[in-house]
Structure 1
Amino acid sequence: MPVFVRRLGRRDYSQTWQAMRDFTATRTEGTLDEFWCCEHAPVFTLGQAGKPEHLLSDLGIPLVKSDRGGQITYHGPGQVVVYLLLDLTRRKLKVRELVVAIEQAVIDLLAEHGVAAERHAGAPGVYVGAAKVAALGLRVRKGCCYHGVSLNVDMDLAPFAAINPCGYAGMPVTQTSDLGISLTPARAATALAAHLGAQLERKP
């Protein structure tokens, strides 16, 4: 089942979020699934059940209360975001299966470059040792999902110190450039989209 990949460049978070909601609200049974690959200007996003107290200090970076799952995270230039706009009902795909597939796509991408990554029980995302390299959050409406996964590639990680990443105090974060992987954000986005597509094709 094909997926159309859009490369959006650097986009405003709130405008992209609204576009995802509009896409999902108006899609039909025949609408092709899509991946949207982009970067965002600096922004903190708070998940639907997110607690504002996980924002520890005001850096002058906007905070957007989103409708995705999960707690608080940071998006900024040099981080690749891939949004997955999928008809889960058509794909006969459960949310938990999709989460595992997204995590595996990141794990496989890093493994291609000699970096061993893993899941942590009870804390969705992908980690290298104790440090988080990719975060994910999804929203499902009428059997279709949006939002997706962010992979830290080559960015300023300092704003993560102003939050409890994904609600975990003191959680370290890392990025592919610090792990010896010489991928640009654009190349990382292309590779991650390919791995995500491969995971979806493996689903019976």
Structure 2
Amino acid sequence: STTQILQAIAISNGTAQQTDHHIRVSAYHALEDFKQISANIDPRIVQEKIRLCLDILLSPQSQTVINGASRDNQNAIDVTASAKMFVLLVLKKYVQVHYKNLSSQDCQTLRNTVLESARLTVSLLNAASDDVKKSVEFKLVGSKIAEVLSDLAARDFPQRWPTFLDDLYGKVWGLSEGNDMGHGARICMECLSLLTEDCTDSDFNSKISTTRRNDI
């Protein structure tokens, strides 16, 4: 469940006050197992993992509630930048392994979800403007989102994602005035920079085929 994954992440990275060695080892193995989404794993299991990833990625709050507990309850658990970074790593691997087998509708849904996560991250960055630690953490989240967006564009733009540039500008760069504009612009520029690098690298180093590079 989402709660179990968040708890395992909190224990693994030390944000949860848990000193029992066996519990920490169990959390580590749970996360390692969750990251396994290779092509030979049951697709239903993979899809459930991705559903949980997207639930965490799209959490608009800094905390989620466990078993109906209030946000101030000691049982509340943070949806931290570390949690979002973890699910983005899983999502990036999912795109690399499974994206080619998704339907057009599922591809569009995934693209829109990642774009929405970028918007939420910009909002979190704006809200954390006076918190240096959180600002640094969520800038890293924004950079990882830029990587995933670049991977998606490398597979779909322009044929299957003709609105890619418009989506970047309208949903991420041009969110609003003030700090949001700067944070959104940074994510967009990182995404475009990564995509450009993949298209201009030598044939030996590029992750994109020559045909796709020419299309992009």
| Structure with greater proportional strand content | 1
TM-score range with shorter-chain normalisation? under 0.3
Calculate the TM-score normalised by the size of structure 2: 0.27
Higher helix content, 1 or 2: 2
TM-score normalised according to structure 1 size:
0.28
Which of the pair has more CA radius of gyration?
2
